[in-house]
Amino acid sequence: MQSSSLMNPLILLLLLLLIHFAATISVTATTTALKRSPGFLYTRGSRGRCTPEFWSSRREAWPRMLPPTSTVSKVFGSRATERYRSDMTLLESTTARSDEGDAFGRLMRQASAALLNSYARKRFSYSSWEVKTLMIQALVSEEAAARVAKQFSVANDACN
């Protein structure tokens, strides 16, 4: 009886020491991982791997089904030619700068990036057919274009 009563505090002490060391190792590993990640100065110029700016820089290969020379009319359909040049390429659409008041320009930039992300990123918020459908539906008005451009912008900025 006496030996088992001595073992309980000893086991408890060993368990506490084990938990303490495990927590210390976990904090050290996390701190080391944080020190290796790029800091503010290194990431300031790029907003992410899914933005129109990223795709226009061509730092990553484009999905095979969407080469940069694909025209907007072939990718999004004939309705897109009502608002955009028929010979505009996807690369041009990601590099085009639009004014703050140009809802259709922002829509094209963000929709093109979203479409590329839907093919290149497995966990992207939208599938390719959703991007195409929302893009065509948004062409009916400036309000709809601004709303969908904002939705795509949020999804593109959140994507990695």
Give me the pLDDT at residue 116, please.
95
Residue 154 has pLDDT above 80, yes or no: yes
pTM of the predicted model, to two decimals?
0.68
| Residue reference for tokens 């459908």 | 133
Using one digit for the tens of pLDDT, what is the confidence trace for 83-130?
899 899 999 998 877 666 689 999 999 999 999 999 999 899 999 999
Range list of H helices, 37-66? 40-43, 52-57
Using one digit for the tens of pLDDT, what is the confidence trace for 67-96?
999 999 999 998 888 889 989 999 999 887
Residue 155 has pLDDT above 50, yes or no: yes
Residue (of 70, 79, 93) closest to 136 by Cα position: 79
Residue 30 has pLDDT above 50, yes or no: no
Residue (of 86, 79, 84) closest to 96 by Cα position: 84
Residue 100 main-chain phi, psi, to 5 deg: -60, -30
Give me the pLDDT at residue 159, please.
83
